[in-house]
């Protein structure tokens, strides 16, 4: 169930925007630990005032967290289903919101299972996600979907990248089939071997009270993105809570209609050595009738899974104002000129936090009109948020503070154990 959208009124889904609280916590040394998630939940709770509450004083506009897939936890869940993993890295989880109508829910499970079979992905079984609806407000509880996870396994001869691409193809296939059958309440917050997203129609402090999985000591991660939604001119619902599958976004994309139209037009010419004959399964790249934030998530996800890294994809979508910059290195100018032929900038004002499960970063579009501040601690912890001071850590241990300006970005590669400032990011993608 979702709030009605009356197309005959002044409402138009093309103009959905929101303003929010957003941030991430990451261990730049790549250490996978419970502390990162705890601090992310604390930071999220301290951004609750950037969201809003319904008249019932409990229903929020939406909140959520994205983290690395806690493999030890889900390996245990696979065993409960009677399965066995050769390696914990083989596990993947599809997080699914289902219609409350049991017949439609059964249809959706069948759609997902058919898509998995189509791309050769092994299914261990379905898991009902533990939840505590008593902490929710009336509107959130009354619109709550069925919430389940499907636990998956990798074939022995697939690389990690091929596995992730097959999961993406299966999800896209399932989404299209659900649209064709008119099932609007079917949605997949995440479908990945790298990351998992827990989100819903909450205010920030309700998130780990509702999803009791998040209280498990086995929920360890080296990075976590968090988001408190504030709907400025949108209807709050479970699906539009953030983070999305790779992006959490504060602001609005004011070039959205043009971005969507040009993306759709270029689909006719889409070719890729990475996807080969499967390229047709990627379309539409941008899901119809979703928010601006969901669209930029779709775009970044397609670019990243097609072979570009997260930093590269983020700089394609939200480039700095480079055209009249006199001191721009030649290599970086070439990067921007080349990619200007491939896509138009997604202009905000917007703060965009992104992650593929290994790299996490944040960027401002070239308008630079959304807050994004960060602190780096002596033990390698990096905290970024819409506000400073969102986690309770000793000020004496901060070794660097900063804020993002127009077109600037930072990133952490947890595999390489490296922090990238703006110059590092741009040297990385431009080959300087």
Catalytic residues: 20
Angle at which helices 102-118 and 160-180 cross, to 10° = 140
| Contact between residue 75 and residue 87 where contact means Cβ atoms under 8 Å apart | no
Q: What is the 3-state secondary structure (H, E, C) of 118-141?
A: HCCCEEEEEEECCECHHHCCHHHH
Element (DSSP H or E) covering residue 152:
strand 146-153
- In angstroms, the CA 411 to CA 422 distance is 8
Residues 6+ apart with CB under 8 A from 361: 310, 311, 314, 353, 354, 355, 409, 410, 411, 412, 420, 425
Tokens of 307: 């072979």
CA–CA gap between residue 388 and residue 222 (Å, rounded)? 21
Q: Which residue has the tokens 């595999």?
A: 415
Beta bridge partners of 223: 26
Round to whole Å and give the CA distance between 188 and 294: 12
d(CA 378, CA 333): 35
Could you count the other beta carbons within 10 Å of the beta carbon of residue 384? Answer: 28
Distance, CA of 347 to CA of 363 (rounded, Å) = 12
State the DSSP H helix or E strand holding residue 173, giving kind and residue range, or none if neither.
helix 160-180
> What is the spatial distance between Cα 191 and Cα 94, in angstroms, rounded to a whole number?
4
User: What is the rounded distance in angstroms from the CA atom of residue 254 to the CA atom of residue 367?
Assistant: 11
Query: How far are the Cα atoms of 84, 283, 372 from residue 350, in angstroms, in the given order?
Result: 44, 26, 10
Cα(385)–Cα(341) distance, integer angstroms: 32
d(CA 346, CA 326): 23
């Amino acid at each position: 169930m979702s709030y009605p959208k009356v197309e005959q009124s002044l409402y138009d889904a093309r103009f959905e925007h929101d303003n929010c609280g957003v941030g991430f916590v990451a261990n730049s040394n790549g250490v996978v630990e419970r502390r990162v998630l705890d601090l992310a939940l604390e930071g999220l709770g301290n951004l609750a005032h950037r969201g809003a509450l319904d008249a019932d004083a409990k229903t929020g506009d939406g909140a959520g967290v994205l983290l690395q897939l806690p493999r030890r936890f889900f390996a245990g869940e696979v065993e409960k289903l009677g399965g066995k993993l050769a390696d914990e890295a083989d596990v993947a989880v599809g997080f699914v919101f289902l219609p409350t109508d049991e017949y439609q829910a059964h249809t959706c499970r069948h759609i997902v299972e058919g898509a998995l079979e189509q791309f050769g992905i092994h299914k261990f079984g379905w898991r009902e996600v533990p939840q505590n609806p008593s902490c929710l407000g009336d509107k959130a509880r009354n619109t709550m979907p069925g919430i389940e996870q499907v636990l998956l396994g990798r074939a022995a001869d697939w690389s990690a990248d091929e596995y992730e691409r097959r999961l993406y193809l299966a999800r896209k296939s399932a989404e299209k089939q659900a649209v064709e059958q008119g099932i609007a309440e079917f949605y997949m917050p995440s479908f990945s071997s790298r990351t998992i997203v827990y989100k819903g129609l909450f205010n920030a402090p309700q998130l780990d009270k509702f999803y009791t999985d998040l209280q498990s000591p086995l929920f360890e991660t080296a990075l976590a993105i968090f988001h408190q939604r504030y709907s400025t001119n949108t209807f709050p619902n479970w699906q539009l809570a953030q983070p999305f599958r790779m992006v959490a976004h504060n602001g609005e994309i004011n070039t959205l209609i043009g971005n969507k139209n040009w993306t759709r037009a270029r689909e006719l010419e889409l070719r890729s050595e990475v996807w080969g004959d499967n390229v047709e399964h990627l379309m539409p790249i941008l899901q119809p009738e979703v928010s601006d934030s969901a669209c930029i998530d779709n775009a970044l996800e397609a670019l990243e899974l097609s072979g570009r890294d997260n930093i590269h994809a983020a700089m394609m979508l939200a480039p700095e104002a480079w055209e009249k910059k006199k001191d721009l290195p030649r290599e970086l100018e070439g990067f921007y000129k080349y990619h200007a032929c491939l896509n138009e900038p997604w202009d905000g004002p917007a703060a965009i936090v992104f992650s593929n499960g290994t790299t996490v970063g944040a960027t401002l579009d070239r308008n630079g009109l959304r807050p994004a501040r960060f602190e780096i601690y002596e033990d390698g912890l990096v905290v970024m948020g819409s506000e400073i001071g969102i986690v309770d850590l000793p000020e004496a241990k901060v070794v660097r503070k900063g804020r993002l300006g127009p077109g600037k970005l930072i990133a952490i590669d947890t595999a390489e154990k490296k922090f990238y400032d703006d110059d590092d990011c741009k040297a990385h993608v431009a080959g300087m």
